[in-house]
Amino acid sequence: MSPSLRRLLRNPLAVGGLVIVGVMAAAALLAPWLSPFDPYATDVDHILQPPSTAHWMGTDRLGRDVLTRVLYGARVSLSVGFVAVGISTVIGILLGSIAGFYGRWVDSVVMRLVDIMLAIPTFFLVLAVIAFLEPNIVNVMAVIGLTSWMGVTRLVRGELLSLREREYVLAARALGASDARLIGVHLLPNGFAPVLVAAVLGVAEAILVESALSFLGLGVQPPFASWGNILTEGKDYIEFAWWLSLYPGLAIWITVLGFNLFGEGLRDAIDPRQEAERE
């Protein structure tokens, strides 16, 4: 067992976060088998029913089972989180590698682009782009991914700037290794740990952005279930149907907490100096 993995498993908060993430992912994958109800089937005889043995989280204004919709909403929210982070990570790695490896004017151009993007509030940028596009899950994934790559770019650039003058890189260059091989084989694998941490924490941020967009009506559209649009439906009945807001809100909070705990634990396991500095 590697030292990093050993440190990770010794961190109870990190293990707890990993368990939360695993449970939520399993619930999303097994949603059709965990609930006997159809997430889109309406039942006018059981409208706005409170939690009961038949409907553990109650029903909504159309008689749909809230637990079922929360489970299916997990599929949407986690999918958006992982895909959006995948897009932003790929873009960040490409731009950060180019900037960190070549330096000089290439680095200046890339970093000025990063500065411009960081000067624009990300959520308002996402809102502006979504306003011109059809609000659906594909566009939400793409827009979040295309507007959140700046942090990864800066991380990768910093790692490559510190690694490109190491002896093993100079030796590989002297043996005739191409730039692509130097970056892909010798530099990125040795500087990927911070990117992995950023990706885990980025999933939590992407889930929050998607939930906020769906809550505002600019994300995943009904009848498809999303934690954000379930909250939107619940706000109109919050005075007497509290369960419509409570359970999707708890799902968002628990999932984001899980990713944050796991990400922080992963950071401490990979680089224990950061934990020592905080103490």
User: Which CATH number fits the domain that encloses residue 56?
Assistant: 1.10.3720.10
- Amino acid 279: pLDDT: 47
| Six-digit token string for 106 | 């290439």
* Dist CA 8 CA 103 (whole Å): 35
Only one residue has tokens 């396991």, namely 269
Question: How many domains is the chain built from?
Answer: 1
Helices then strands, counting H and E runs in the chain, come out as 14, 0
Contact 143, 129 (CB under 8 A): yes
First vs last C-alpha separation in the chain: 26
**Over the stretch 65-76, which tens digit does the pLDDT of each residue have?**
999 999 999 998
Of 238, 213, 233, nearest in space to 66 by CA: 233
Residue 272 has a pLDDT of 53
Give the pLDDT band of residue 86 (cuts 50, 70, 90): very high
Residue 51 identity: P
Q: What residues contact residue 234 under an 8 Å CB cut-off, 6+ apart? A: 60, 241, 243, 244, 245, 248
Domain extent, residue 186, equals: 3-278
